[in-house]
A and B are shown apart, each in its own frame.
Chain A
Amino acid sequence: MSVVPRALKQVAGLALVAMLMTACSNTSSDSPADDATPQRGGTLRMQLVRDTAGAGYDPGKTTESVVYTVDSLIFDTLLEADPNGNLKPGLAEKWDISSDGLVYTFTLRKGVKFHDGSDMTATDAKYTIDRILNPDTKSPRRNVFAAVKSAEATDPTTLVITLSKPYSPLLNVLADITAGIVPKAVVEAKGDGFSAAPVGTGPFKLVEWRRDQQIKLAANSAYWVSGQPYLNGIDISFNADSNARAANVRSRTIDFLWNAPPELYSVLKADKSVRVAGGSGTTSFQYMLLNIQKAPFNDVKVRQAIFTALNRDEIRTISRPDTTATLNGGFLPDGHWAALSTPVNKFDVARAKSLLSEAGQAAGFPLEILVLSGSDFHVRTGQAVQQQLQPLGITVKVTTVDSAQQQQRLRDGSFDAVVTGFSGTLDPDERLTQTFGTGGGTNYAKFSDAEVDDLIAQGRATTDQAKRADIYRRVQQRLAETGPMAFTYNYNFFDVMTADVHGYEFNPTTVNYRSLRQVWLTQ
């Protein structure tokens, strides 16, 4: 009988604590405007979703956005991309390209030091590139550097990269955090241990990494951008529950919420106590991939019928109405320099039906769509597609799988269709080569088309952006008509921070959080 009063007491105690906490959080509401002089000090409490760094934080081996994020704080690249995708000097002060487009000469910044105090020289830059090219490293980025014939350090501040054939995306590839400069001596000494204790030149250095729990970063006091970083450090925690993460930033349990849940966009946007950054400008996109190695999807007419039966505006509204833009045709959003803005597969059920009967599939067929469990917006798209393909007699089954199962089935080719997404790349070439080029690393449907391969090669060899844009529009047109996937919509990440966080600049080009070096906290 004494259980009830005790429980009551506990509830009352909790309520009291909650009241006190609310009272405390209301006291610091005034914050200076963003153009105020940066204040030094403080530790930014940042929350990510999951610690996905199975292999650690080695830039050359990075494939995953959490690792991209942490690496962009620890490492620097020769060039940096601003939020509009324009390249500016990073560790390289300036660079020069030979007229034939085969020799790139970089002049490196003097006096840059690694976190261990050693000097960063052209030897380290050369080593970084050699290491990615070395098959033993097993770098997932090896093929984007395939055009590199050699990298040479002619003196401590000069790096010369020679190509075997013109490769215009090179500068963009070097600006990606996967090309972060690593210290030769440290990597050679530590070997595989480097990824667990990474050393770079970046604004923050790794102090402690407790897998799945916490990453502690401290300011690099010898950072080459004078005065930066303003923060004393960054404490990164992980939380897979999107509601809890959003609640944490709203209750000031954390200062900075990385990649907030899209379902909560309107709620967070309306909340005056937090600020939302981002939500546009990325080239991330969602797609439905058909297994073109398998009947009936090996028939281009069947694929076209499916593409035409999809109402992409409706898919977007149902799946993810905020922070998205409908795609129909290319995978680049309107406004991108290489975007294909005319719709290719206009929504037309009658046409879809006739295409299907031309293919001899008028009766329809079953179709299983794999979606990643936990990626709610992909699951919702799967269900929208299910309803939209009904009129064609295509009976869709939506199956949720975990990421290991999904990867396995994609690799084995044991799937009909999958709805998932690709994050943006700085240069369209990377996405095209990797996903649609013959033998590309993420070309899951083993798509191979001579015209597409040829256009990709032309795009790589062309330096003029207008000409490249034209080539890429042609590739996208070809892909939309005959390709293995329907591009549904472009989606954007966004970050949420408390009013105490100033100076943050969302960079939509790739996953890049280096601008945290210029962030400061109200003290």
Chain B
Amino acid sequence: MAENTPIAMSAPASEPGLPADAGPRRTRRGLRVLRNLMRDRTGVVGAVLVGLALFAALFGPLLAPYDPNLIHPDARLAAPGARFLLGADELGRDVLSRALHGARISIVVGVLVVLCAGAIGVTVGLLSGYAKGLVDGVAMRVMDVLFAFPTLLLAMAVVAVLGTDMRNLIVALVLVYIPAFARVARASTLSVVEEPYIEAARAVGLPHRRILFRYVLPNIMPPVLVQATISLAYAILVEASLSYLGLGVQPPDASWGSMLATGKPYLELAAWLCMVPGLAIMLTVLGFNLLGDALRDVLDPRLRR
């Protein structure tokens, strides 16, 4: 217990009153988190799956044997084999190439959404948790309104209003995921600002901005990080759902969701059309979830046994 110093939502107990942003300390903490993560078996599985998905997203288009949109009229619904490793779809396009390109879309959308929603949400949460009072009240009621809508419904509404394309899809998902980040960030901020070291920083006369970004922000990051991993998984899932409904990428471009949608009628004739993107979604989402769970276990002392 002794070496696992609590880091999230509580003061560094051994050195009361000292700011938590000392450089070497942070690196050491990062290493420790990584070490603990690697000790967690589900964490390893998650990390491997996420690694694979990231690899596919980064290098997939280079590895793809064919142009993902190239139609081979003679190869309609061709079974997996030497010519098409994972078969061909209803237009005779290579499923493997499309799945690899789809990985890029899914991951890029997921990462972009989480980065943007995270940046906006954390800023909102940080400010309202720190300022409290009216700012907090207004900001949080706005977040409540956004939160009140079911995720998918809100995303669909936004896409329906803005029109269907990739950029609008990302905008929609960002909007959907802001409240989750804002709430997590606010809750952590509320507890962090009560810490003696923040009190000390105030007493020293540091400006608000410096307190916020140097002392509060780093200390609320662990739960935000967990939220980010979980949100990534869901963002990928929601992107797939919207593409499945025809509200995401436009044909002929491939995304896992749209591949599922167009492959669905051929389930009996050519099961690989759905199995490939379906497995890809499942494993990626599972990976991010496992990683998120493991991260939470490692980062949150209260959950540790």
Contact = CB atoms under 8 A, between A and B. Distances in A.
Interface of A: 242-243, 261, 263-264, 266-267, 314, 317-318, 321, 371, 373-374, 376, 379-380, 382-384, 386-387, 397-400
Interface in B24-74: 69-71, 73
Nearest to A319: B91
7 contacts: A243-B267, A261-B265, A266-B269, A318-B76, A374-B246, A383-B251, A400-B251
Given A318-B73, A318-B91, A380-B91, A386 B269 contact: no
Given A243-B264, A384-B91, A314 B252 contact: no
B250 interface: yes
A387 B252 CA distance: 10
Contacts of A266: 269
Chain B interface SS verdict (over half): loop
B266 interface: yes
Contact of B265 (A242, A314, A321, A382): A242
Nearest to B264: A243
The 6 A-B residue pairs with the shortest CB-CB distance in the complex, in nearest-first order = A263-B265, A373-B246, A383-B252, A314-B73, A387-B71, A398-B251
B261 to A, nearest CB: 9
Contacts, number: 55
A387 B73 CA distance: 11
B191 interface: no
B14 to A, nearest CB: 36
A386 B250 contact: no
Interface residues of chain A: helix, strand, loop or mixed (majority): helix
Interface string B251-265: 110000000001011
Contact of A386 (B90, B164, B252, B264): B252
A235 to B, nearest CB: 26
B164 A376 contact: no
Contacts of B267: 243
Contacts of A386: 252
Given A263-B90, A318-B92, A383-B91, A243 B265 contact: yes
Given A384-B71, A384-B91, 15 more contacts: A243-B265, A243-B267, A263-B266, A264-B268, A266-B269, A314-B73, A318-B71, A318-B92, A379-B251, A379-B262, A380-B90, A383-B252, A387-B70, A397-B250, A400-B164
A354 B213 CA distance: 65
A397 B249 CA distance: 12
A398 B266 contact: no
B180 to A, nearest CB: 24
A398 B246 contact: no
B262 A376 contact: yes
Given A263-B266, A267-B268, A376-B265, A317 B73 contact: yes
A373 B71 CA distance: 20
Contacts of B92: 318
Contacts of B90: 263, 318, 380
Contacts of A371: 251
Nearest to A386: B252
B246 A400 contact: yes
